Chain A
Amino acid sequence: MYIGVDIGSLVTKTVILKDGDIASYSIIDSRSDPEKAAKRSLEHALRKAGLGGDEIAFTVATGYGRTAFSDADKTVTELSCHGRGAHFLHPAARTIIDVGGQDSKVLRIDKSGDMVDFAMNDKCAAGTGRFLEVMCHALEIPLEELGSFSLRSTNSLRMSSTCTVFAETEVISLLAAKQKKEDIAAGLHHAIARRVGNMAKSFGIEKDMVFVGGVAKNSGVRKALEEFLGMKFAPISHDPQIVGALGAALLAEDFYEGRKKP
């Protein structure tokens, strides 16, 4: 079996690949130690599948904490892993948008799932998962409910900034002005959509387009991005948050089988 571990800034994901399919996966908080997070995540996924670690043939670590995981046989960037994972789930995919905990990316892949080009956001966390976490705190809404909550909006408010600090201040001001929370949430999602969407537009989009990463679970951001870009995302059959880890597991198999040079 092959393991892919995606050690993100907020969340660590592990996918176990066995007989060409996903045998198990786990998603846990990264906390402060990326190596411990990777180990915990792997143990969790193994336990879920009722498997032991001795069957592991090859492990690829990815994500910002990839170099911290000493049990990995190889590290690959989350860029290539997201491309490979998205291709597995939707082989016609050519453009992948990934919005994770602290950055957002747009990448182009070829028909084999290999990345050919990419663009990444600047160094701050504006318009990413961390941004949404802070806004949920200000709005007192659970993160997982923010998407569906925003879809009830009838009057999306215009947010002037995707800077986490400024936007939080703006949210507090809007709450004080008795604006509806769902309208504020919709405004936040549109602000993210403008930021990520502009990056995608200037990079260039080829069909089919797939949305991955933790923020892709948010139906409000998904809808806002589709509206901004004027096209729909292709559906995928698994949790979009595990696509990077899935790609890492697929690459682990490629390396082990000699289809790619480690």
Chain B
Amino acid sequence: MKMNVLSQLNDLLEQRRTEIPKLRSKGQKVFGYVCCKVPVEIVHALGMIPIRIGVAAEAKMATGKEFTHQFTCPYIKCIVGEMLEQGDFFHDNVDVISGFVTCLTVHRCLEVLKQYTGKTTFYLTHPLNPPTKREEKFYMAEIAHFVSQLEAASGKKLDNPRLKESVEIFNWIRVKLRELCRLHSMNCSGLRWSEVLKIIQAGFLLDAKQYLAFLMETIRKIEAEKEELQDSNGAPRIMLIGSPMLPGDDMLIKIIEDCGARIVADTLCTGMRTFEDLVISEPTIAGIAQTYLNSNPCASAQDLEIEKDRRLKHTFRLIREHKVQGAVYYALRFCDHYAFKDDETKQFLAEKAGIPMISIHSEYGETEEGRLRTRIEGFLETL
């Protein structure tokens, strides 16, 4: 089952990379985004192709550094490098660029991309305070502005039937991804987390309907074989917390798995955060805005009082739901949101959830494997 699923996924991704240039030549526009809370259903409803920009690659980081700064985080360096290097898939295919300004580095990224690509580029902002009527009003206006920008870029008007259809497709994708993670958490997916993550991240590129069909088929296969796939080897159950891990940045995950642990959940913007809490009940702009606003907030919207922190509450809920025994906190270099919060998070998890946490400060690349392996092995030895 496992080999079939992964090889089918690789084929789909490969086909998609050749299909997208053809669709563009027929007039369809590609919308590249850099944040997991960009409402892709709206992009989809306007007939554009939403794809998430970014693959972890050291060579692209070098290019990205040329256009940003040595103290820029690897995540943004990769995105900038990919968007500015001729011959790169993202450079060659993205027509419109957008994302939430979740930190000043993202802002700088969009600024640099607008300047050097000359492509339509615009950003969104989100409220930092917990949602009240005031934040709702602000956010609603922001999403309405987003729609008008997209309408201008696509040359189309958003209509309700198309929006309803798109919302429904993405809702189903999110439901199925939750189901996949639930099966994985129950030790009966037959997959490693690195493979589950590959499936989650395939949604950054694949056509929504095709992706949904793939997810439904994969879950059907797992359900049919789950008793045989059941794995009860008692490996420690680990949760990943922290900075985005772009597709290709799987070294830490592989080390954790090679050391005999099972990753059962994450809170990453490139993992479960892309679909958790995002099932939209009202297929309107207002309904979409409400759902995104009330979902697990961005790391840039941390509450000032730790007791009220919505992100930590969300993390706590996932720990209980997935019976997590230890957390690995991944902070990319120069990713301040996560670097600032590791001690607090460690203390919170120890006191409130009763689980230990290890902080890993790292960057994309293979050079640190030995250093990370000792830390992860040491951490697992404490469990």
* Chain A residues near B (Cβ < 8 Å): 64, 76-80, 114-118, 120, 122-123
Contact = CB atoms under 8 A, between A and B. Distances in A.
A64 B370 CA distance: 7
12 contacts: A64-B370, A64-B374, A76-B381, A77-B374, A79-B374, A79-B378, A115-B378, A115-B381, A116-B382, A118-B378, A118-B379, A120-B375
Contacts of A114: 382
B377 interface: yes
Interface in B326-383: 356, 361, 368, 370-371, 374-375, 377-379, 381-382
A122 B377 contact: no
A76 B378 CA distance: 8
Majority secondary structure, A binding face = mixed
Contact of B378 (A64, A77, A122, A123): A77
Given A77-B378, A78-B374, A123-B368, 16 more contacts: A64-B374, A76-B381, A77-B374, A77-B377, A77-B381, A79-B378, A79-B381, A80-B381, A114-B382, A115-B378, A115-B381, A115-B382, A116-B356, A118-B378, A118-B379, A118-B382
Contacts of B381: 76-77, 79-80, 115
Interface residues of B, number: 12
B374 A123 contact: no
Contacts of B382: 114-118
Interface of B: 356, 361, 368, 370-371, 374-375, 377-379, 381-382
Contact of A123 (B371, B377, B379): B371
A80 B195 CA distance: 31
Looking at chain B's contact residues, the main secondary structure is helix
Nearest to A79: B378
A78 B375 CA distance: 10
A222 B379 CA distance: 27
B334 to A, nearest CB: 14
A250 to B, nearest CB: 14
B261 to A, nearest CB: 14
A80 B375 CA distance: 11
Contacts of A76: 381
A76 B373 CA distance: 11
Contacts of B370: 64
Nearest to B356: A117
B253 to A, nearest CB: 19
Contacts of B361: 122
Contacts of A116: 356, 382
Among B356, B377, B379, max chain A CB count under 10 A is at B377
Contacts of B371: 123
A122 B359 CA distance: 11
Interface centre among B356, B361, B370, B374 (most CB of A within 10 A): B374
A116 B357 CA distance: 11
B373 to A, nearest CB: 9
A219 B121 CA distance: 61
Nearest to B379: A118
A14 B356 CA distance: 32
A50 B382 CA distance: 36
Nearest to A67: B373
A32 to B, nearest CB: 15
